[in-house]
């Protein structure tokens, strides 16, 4: 059985010429070029694109879409109630927002509240957990690791994105507490230590929301996250982590805004850029 959904199969195919004719009627004499837009980077966005020749489907990564519920209430009992209600309501993941993080917006959790916040949450029941960290809440993931040990849960059964981002934390807070040459080995050692405990994926994040929030363009956001991810890749490799393992320890965050098509294009561009890094 084909997975195609031919909703428009009974209608004749429309041509570009037909679309241009209809658009010209609306323009009422204005140049067709007035429908062309430009991004902040000066890239031209045409109003209509034909399908690329020899185009193929972009293979999606294995797995399902995740509906991630934001958990940020500073009262652990209220945060726990929110988490349980969101999971019962259809969410299949939780973003645990640390106080003072990029996404905290004046709220956020503290490390000593994790056990209470996750009380009754079945961590090994197929839900995802992701951390949005700040320097003062960098121990949030370690509190989760301790909770996992206490419950006797195998790390391999969990879907956790730890989200350590020392570069992002330094940018957000005005500078590194140590020179990068000294800081990188510490970050790499933390990731390697977690890997030895069974947590081998998504330990470090390259977070582009900092650039977007500061008014950066799409290209600047992409350049930033690629540069940060490569810095983490090099730090992990220098600490003895094999490159094939190191790349799996890194994930990305990009800002999504009201321009949904440009947001999709930015996400696709990131996949292409990171693929080039992995090829190298």
What is the tens place of the pLDDT at every residue in 106-131? 899 999 999 999 999 999 988 999 99
Predicted confidence at residue 232, as pLDDT, reads 94
Per-residue pLDDT in tens (0 to 9) along the chain, 280 residues = 445 556 777 888 888 888 888 888 888 888 888 889 899 899 888 888 887 787 776 655 555 688 999 999 999 999 999 999 999 999 999 999 999 898 888 899 999 999 999 999 999 988 999 999 988 898 999 999 999 999 999 998 999 999 999 999 888 877 777 788 888 888 888 888 888 899 989 999 999 999 999 999 999 999 999 999 999 999 999 988 899 999 999 999 999 999 898 999 999 999 999 999 999 8
CATH 3.40.50.11540 given to domain 68-279: no
3-state secondary structure of 96: strand
Strand partners, 44: 38
Q: What Å distances lie between residue 267 and 97, 208, 228, 261, 274, CA to CA?
A: 23, 11, 16, 10, 11
Interval 25-38: pLDDT, tens: 888 888 888 889 89
Q: What is the value of pTM for the model shown?
A: 0.85
Nearest to 193 by CA among 155, 226, 147: 155
Closest listed residue to residue 235, CA positions, set 188, 182, 280? 188
pLDDT at 1: 43
Residue showing tokens 């059985």: 1
CA distances from 249 to 25, 160, 194, 195, 254 (A): 53, 11, 10, 9, 17
DSSP 137: G
Q: What's the confidence (pLDDT) of residue 171? A: 86
pLDDT digits over 69-107, tens only? 999 999 999 999 999 999 999 999 999 999 989 888 889
């Amino acid at each position: 059985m084909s997975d195609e959904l031919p909703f428009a199969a009974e209608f004749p195919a429309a041509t570009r010429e037909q679309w241009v004719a209809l658009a010209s009627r609306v323009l009422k004499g204005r140049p067709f070029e007035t429908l062309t837009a430009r991004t902040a980077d000066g890239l031209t966005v045409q109003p209509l694109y034909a399908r690329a020749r020899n185009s193929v489907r972009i293979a999606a990564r294995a797995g399902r879409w995740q509906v991630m519920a934001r958990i940020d209430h500073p009262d652990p009992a209220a945060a726990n109630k929110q988490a349980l209600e969101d999971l019962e309501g259809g969410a299949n993941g939780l973003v645990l927002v640390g106080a003072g993080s990029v996404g905290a917006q004046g709220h956020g959790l503290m490390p000593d509240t994790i056990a209470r916040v996750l009380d009754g949450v079945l961590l090994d029941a197929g839900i995802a957990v992701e951390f949005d960290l700040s320097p003062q809440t960098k121990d949030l993931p370690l509190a989760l690791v301790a909770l996992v040990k206490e419950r006797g849960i195998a790390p391999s059964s969990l879907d956790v994105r730890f989200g350590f981002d020392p570069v992002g934390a330094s940018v957000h807070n005005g500078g590194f507490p140590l020179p990068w040459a000294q800081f990188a080995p510490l970050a790499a050692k933390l990731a390697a230590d977690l890997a030895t405990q069974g947590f081998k994926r998504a330990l470090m994040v390259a977070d582009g929301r900092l650039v977007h929030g500061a008014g950066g363009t799409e290209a600047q956001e992409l350049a930033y996250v690629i540069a940060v991810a490569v810095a983490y890749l090099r730090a992990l490799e220098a600490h003895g982590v094999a490159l094939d393992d190191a790349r799996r320890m890194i994930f990305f965050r990009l800002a999504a805004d009201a321009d949904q098509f440009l947001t999709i294009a930015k996400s696709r561009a990131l996949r292409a850029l990171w693929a080039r890094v992995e090829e190298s």
